[in-house]
Structure 1
Amino acid sequence: MKISIPLRMAEKTYNDAINALNSLQSNYANIMAIRESGIRKNEMAISEMVEWTRRIGYTTADFNKLNIVHITGTKGKGSTAAFTNSILSQYKEQLPKIGLYTSPHLKTVRERIRINGKPLSEKKFTKYFYEIWNRLDKTSSPLDKFPHMTPGSMPGYFKFLTLLSFHTFLQEGCKSCVYEVGIGGEYDSTNIIERPVACGVSLLGIDHTFMLGDTIEEIAWNKGGIFKKHVPAFTVENQPTAGLNVLEERATERNTTVTEVPIFDELEKIKLGIAGSFQKTNASLAVALASQALTSMEILDEPVNMIKDVHLPQKFLDGLKDTLWEGRCQTVNRGNNTWYLDGAHTKDSIEAASTWFRDVMKTSRKPKVLLFNQQSRDANALIHFMNGKIAPDVHFDHVIFTTNVTWDSGSYSADLVSMNTCKEDVDELKVQKSLAEEWAKIDNESKIFVSPNIEHAINLIEGLSDNSLDIFVCGSLHLVGGLLVVFDGK
């Protein structure tokens, strides 16, 4: 008798997980339709996130055991999260596992979910991804309460990753976690955190106006939405006065306090792990957040005093010196050339990155190259602003405008696929040609090139001269991430 043995279902791979995750992105047409409707995020964003949480087998109260530091802001929130994580990691005996959730990623989506500073492995990412995916696929929500959560539907890209991060950190037994808000705060999917151990707000500015509002007051209101009852909140000094006033009002509403953190004197004596003089502000905020977190967890007896000349614990200083954060004021030596990378893509971040590059170039006599792209914001305005911060101290001999497409084949690295830009504009190099025309008005002495992809741009730059070059890369984290992927050859 012949016995048929059923074939085992093919095991899911990391590429399967990435393809499934990418299917959750909002495409360009949908984003434009939502913007034209004038509808902004509302309270349903949080209630739906709570419902997704229920469907994967948790309550939001389960996340309290992660002892979360929750960080928002317009500029510097990612760097602040990295500094905070690095300080906490100095307390390995008490905190053997620390989680870090940030966005966006540079080279691989696994960078968004880190344990002890390292991106989740492909194996664990795939395992936890499909645990979440399958739980959501097998459960449902009452349509009278959640009409958008129809059978078979999934949360969006960022919401899914947020759920995945909570699940991962709980399964891995993390003792503390640092969470960077995606956008805003009040309606951000990370804001289902009920009881963080500390909240932080980095420098405020005007960005994501469609979702957060057009004024600094509206933006501050959204950012202050992460404040929780009796949970100390901290912010940087030199906040816009109107924004700081709103943060203080939000703190009062939530029965807590918000403290302005000075730039600590001792930071002048060390070299921070992330370059740029402006990082002292973010590092100081990280000191306050880590100090409060460690005190809340009874690892420290009392928090660091928030005065400029306070003596900081050596572990704090070591953590700040050891911080690694790719794509932010990062220097890469490749062959004869030196690449200066920053994913700056807003007016405030362009100012910070341009100032850093200008200061580094003070003693360099090498030819200068600019590699730039910004596909979705007002790119022309950004290059004018950038040039205003570096000219006449720095002059670019060559300027290249590229798309964020990774490879010369016209394909993206799987982790860098983006559906939220207009494909026709990318294919036709519409933004890049506009930037080239605009730069010619700024500086008609530069040699200007338009490149269809990042690999092509790198080859172009490396063929410009037999001598060494200084190359400034900015305008987009997607550009910087794609560049590092090509450098890796993967």
Structure 2
Amino acid sequence: MSAPTSLADAEIGKLLARHPKGFDLKLDRIRRLLAVLGDPQGRMPPTIHVAGTNGKGSTIAFSRAILEAAGQGVHVHTSPHLVDWHERYRLADPAGGPGRLVDDARLAETMRRVAAANGDEPITVFELLTAVTFVLFSEAPADAVLLEVGLGGRFDATNVVERPAVSVVTAISLDHQAYLGDRVELVAAEKAGIFKPGVPVVIGPQAEPAALDVLKRHAARTRAETMVYGEDFFAFTEHGRLVYQDARGLLDLPMPRLPGRHQIGNAATAIAALRLAGFDPSPSAIERGMQGVEWPGRLQRITSGPLFDLAADGSELWLDGGHNPGAGLVIAETLADMEDRVQRPLFLIAGMLTTKEPVGFFEAFAGMARRVFTVPIASSDSAMSPEDLADAAIVAGLEAEPCASVAEAIRLVSTGWRAVPAPRFLVCGSLYLAGEVLRDSRLAPR
């Protein structure tokens, strides 16, 4: 094992050595710890709490971009990280500029304080890291907090925030079935666990009517204003522009910087959430947010670095950490839209964890991908073997073969498939794998 590269890495190593890394969905442990720390979750700026299977990170990214374009200071919590633990904690800039990842010394010191407050009490690492979020965000000034749920909603450690400004649920599909259930209705009920009496609710686009029905029933119990995509707010494209509509009228906006039709719904969800939470950004701030939004590792085009240099001239290298059937569908849809403009053979380079359902993910690419190269994930001890993952791709109707690494897969195509036009590569299947590619490409989030 390599030596820690930062003070925070050293503290994380201590936490991992003492406490479980996985999930144990209860709230009593973190509530006890937060009480010792003085309940910092109650002293944070107004909070937008976001759950969902897919799209919650993008919705947070749009929200951050819009708020910062409006001159607001924003704290952002997302998980998991791609390359570095610091990515989970973005603090507002006191000078009014874009927020920045927490500095190493501050993160390490806060981790030590939280660990000392917990003592020898049983707790998971995720719960400790969530407590770190609340301490950091309560001690630094900001206008808003964007808080991403880690897993599920009802018993997620972030759900101790009692009075968020708004609760948001993005697209729901099957994922984490061992924890959340094997039907979308069950998953939706867990996500809806973040809804609270009197707190407004925004429900983003839902492909599954059964999930939408559950979300709407739970939202009705809050007796608070609820905005549902497709009923109370809408978004569509017209003449190369994004049109957003709600009861207040229309907004004519540029298309989002993030690629994919699904991002139209995520952008609309962010706008609705900000309005319902009372931030009321101006149309010009929303427009600048559409143009300035960034969300690494999600349909991100890699245009430099050692991996890109291995590809044949004219090739494209794309990266997405999506890892469930719902994500597979929207990624495949976006790539199909790209093929309408430029015909290229598509090669998938995939790695996935054993907790995921690979066949459903790969089925979205049947008839599109020329071949799948399956690779190990060095940064996770829960990675599926390339051989087993290749078998899953074959079951899904794709040609597949195991491979030693992303670099080796690119080399194989670039040297062994010379008869085909410059290919389009998609590295996919895991945020861990996405993080490895960003690290190796020297594109770690900042």
How far off its partner does 1:24 sit? Answer: 6.0
Secondary structure of 1:114's aligned partner: strand
User: In the alignment, is residue 80 of structure 1 matched against residue 59 of structure 2?
Assistant: yes
- Residue 450 of structure 1 corresponds to which residue in structure 2? 402
- Residue 90 of structure 2 corresponds to which residue in structure 1? 114
How far off its partner does 1:180 sit? Answer: 1.0
Secondary structure of 2:70's aligned partner: coil
- Residue 263 of structure 1 corresponds to which residue in structure 2? 234
Choose 122-131 or 319-328, whichever is displaced more. Answer: 122-131
Alpha-carbon distance in structure 1 between the residues aligned to 2:317 and 2:293: 20
Alpha-carbon distance in structure 2 between the residues aligned to 1:52 and 1:166: 11
Which residues in structure 2 correspond to 1:175-324 (within 5 Å)?
175-238=143-206, 240-261=208-229, 262-265=233-236, 267-268=242-243, 269-295=253-279, 300=280, 313-324=283-294
Q: Which runs of 4+ in 1 moved over 6 A?
A: 441-444
Give the residue type in structure 1 aligned to 2:348: L
- Residue 330 of structure 1 corresponds to which residue in structure 2? 300
Alpha-carbon distance in structure 2 between the residues aligned to 1:214 and 1:133: 35
Quickly say closer, same or farther: Cα 1:240–1:365, change in 2 above 3 A: closer
Q: Determine if contact 2:19/2:123 at 8 Å carries over to the other structure.
A: no
Choose 463-472 or 106-115, whichever is displaced more. Answer: 463-472
Alpha-carbon distance in structure 1 between the residues aligned to 2:433 and 2:318: 13
Secondary structure of 2:65's aligned partner: helix
Q: Quote the RMSD (CA, aligned, Å).
A: 2.8
Quickly say closer, same or farther: Cα 1:400–1:197, change in 2 above 3 A: same
Q: Determine if contact 2:227/2:272 at 8 Å carries over to the other structure.
A: no
Quickly say closer, same or farther: Cα 1:203–1:438, change in 2 above 3 A: closer
Give the residue type in structure 1 aligned to 2:8: Y
Structure 2, gaps ≥5 residues long = 1-5, 92-97, 244-252
**Deviations 1:316-343 (Å, cap 9, x if unpaired)?**
1211221100111111123344211111
**Deviations 1:90-124 (Å, cap 9, x if unpaired)?**
222xx3x3101111111112111112443222232
Q: Determine if contact 1:248/1:257 at 8 Å carries over to the other structure.
A: no
Give the residue type in structure 2 aligned to 1:272: P
- Residue 13 of structure 2 corresponds to which residue in structure 1? 19
How far off its partner does 1:213 sit? Answer: 2.4
Alpha-carbon distance in structure 1 between the residues aligned to 2:414 and 2:16: 32
How far off its partner does 1:439 sit? Answer: 4.4
- Residue 76 of structure 2 corresponds to which residue in structure 1? 100
Secondary structure of 2:152's aligned partner: coil
Give the residue type in structure 2 aligned to 1:270: P
How far off its partner does 1:13 sit? Answer: 2.2
- Residue 148 of structure 1 corresponds to which residue in structure 2? none
Give the residue type in structure 1 aligned to 2:84: T
Give the residue type in structure 2 aligned to 1:280: I
Alpha-carbon distance in structure 1 between the residues aligned to 2:209 and 2:393: 35
**Deviations 1:195-220 (Å, cap 9, x if unpaired)?**
11111111222222222223222222
Q: How many residues align?
A: 407
Alpha-carbon distance in structure 2 between the residues aligned to 1:25 and 1:348: 32
Alpha-carbon distance in structure 1 between the residues aligned to 2:82 and 2:269: 24
Quickly say closer, same or farther: Cα 1:459–1:154, change in 2 above 3 A: farther
**Deviations 1:149-195 (Å, cap 9, x if unpaired)?**
xxx24531221111111111122222210011111111111000011
Alpha-carbon distance in structure 2 between the residues aligned to 1:328 and 1:117: 20
Q: Determine if contact 2:301/2:316 at 8 Å carries over to the other structure.
A: yes
- Residue 352 of structure 1 corresponds to which residue in structure 2? 330
Choose 378-387 or 160-169, whichever is displaced more. Answer: 378-387
Quickly say closer, same or farther: Cα 1:18–1:453, change in 2 above 3 A: farther
Quickly say closer, same or farther: Cα 1:363–1:251, change in 2 above 3 A: closer
Alpha-carbon distance in structure 2 between the residues aligned to 1:106 and 1:118: 16
Q: Determine if contact 2:159/2:194 at 8 Å carries over to the other structure.
A: yes
Secondary structure of 1:168's aligned partner: helix
- Residue 354 of structure 2 corresponds to which residue in structure 1? 376
Q: Determine if contact 2:74/2:142 at 8 Å carries over to the other structure.
A: yes
Q: Determine if contact 2:9/2:85 at 8 Å carries over to the other structure.
A: no
Name the % identity. Answer: 24
**Deviations 1:422-467 (Å, cap 9, x if unpaired)?**
xxxx5xxx631123345456678x5x54234455556656665788
The structure having more radius of gyration, on CA atoms, is 1
Which residues in structure 2 correspond to 1:165-176 (within 5 Å)?
165-176=133-144
Quickly say closer, same or farther: Cα 1:24–1:89, change in 2 above 3 A: farther
Quickly say closer, same or farther: Cα 1:385–1:171, change in 2 above 3 A: same
Residue number among 432, 436, 440 corresponding to 1:482 in the alignment = 436
Choose 168-177 or 374-383, whichever is displaced more. Answer: 374-383
- Residue 318 of structure 2 corresponds to which residue in structure 1? 340
Secondary structure of 1:204's aligned partner: coil
Alpha-carbon distance in structure 2 between the residues aligned to 1:238 and 1:441: 27
Structure 1, gaps ≥5 residues long = 1-11, 32-39, 138-151, 304-311, 406-411, 413-417
Could you state the TM-score of these two structures normalised by the residue count of structure 2? 0.82
**Deviations 1:32-73 (Å, cap 9, x if unpaired)?**
xxxxxxxx84xxx1222211101223354333xx10001111
Q: Determine if contact 2:175/2:356 at 8 Å carries over to the other structure.
A: no
**Deviations 1:234-259 (Å, cap 9, x if unpaired)?**
11244533323322322233332322
Alpha-carbon distance in structure 2 between the residues aligned to 1:13 and 1:363: 47
Q: Determine if contact 1:247/1:258 at 8 Å carries over to the other structure.
A: no
Alpha-carbon distance in structure 1 between the residues aligned to 2:297 and 2:416: 24
- Residue 374 of structure 2 corresponds to which residue in structure 1? 401
Choose 458-467 or 333-342, whichever is displaced more. Answer: 458-467
**Deviations 1:267-320 (Å, cap 9, x if unpaired)?**
25522121111111111010011112244xxxx4xx9xxxxxxxx712112112
Quickly say closer, same or farther: Cα 1:488–1:217, change in 2 above 3 A: same
Give the residue type in structure 1 aligned to 2:169: V
- Residue 123 of structure 1 corresponds to which residue in structure 2? 105
- Residue 94 of structure 2 corresponds to which residue in structure 1? none
Alpha-carbon distance in structure 2 between the residues aligned to 1:383 and 1:376: 13
**Deviations 1:325-370 (Å, cap 9, x if unpaired)?**
0111111123344211111111111110111122213343545321
- Residue 70 of structure 1 corresponds to which residue in structure 2? 49
Q: Determine if contact 1:455/1:483 at 8 Å carries over to the other structure.
A: no
Q: Determine if contact 2:62/2:290 at 8 Å carries over to the other structure.
A: yes
- Residue 95 of structure 2 corresponds to which residue in structure 1? none
